[in-house]
Amino acid sequence: MLVLSRHRDESIIIADNIVVTVVDIRGDKVRLGIDAPSEVPIHRQEVFDAIMRENQQANQVDPKAARNVGTSSGEPTTSGENPPT
């Protein structure tokens, strides 16, 4: 891990197209501004962890059970369409 010291309004540059700037420092909190291309996902660590947990849970769903989601009887339909409600 690279550890850098920065003052307010100072920046670091990552890979020529991501700029992280220290916007404000209040007590033990630092506000960062991140300028990156729109295709680069940026998440807080706790949000990223939640996304990864949800993706892992979704990958563990039984495909047969997933096909029955939204049917009133829970039984798969033979025509490939949902039964009328």
51-79: per-residue pLDDT in tens? 999 999 888 877 776 676 666 655 555 55
36-45: per-residue pLDDT in tens? 999 999 999 9
Q: Which H or E run includes 26?
A: strand 18-26
- Span 45-53, mean pLDDT? 96
Could you tell me the two tokens for 4?
Answer: 């850098």
Q: Can you give the residue ranges of every domain in the chain?
A: 8-35
Closest CA to 5 of 24, 22, 23: 22
- pLDDT exceeds cutoff 60 at 20: yes
This prediction's pTM? 0.64
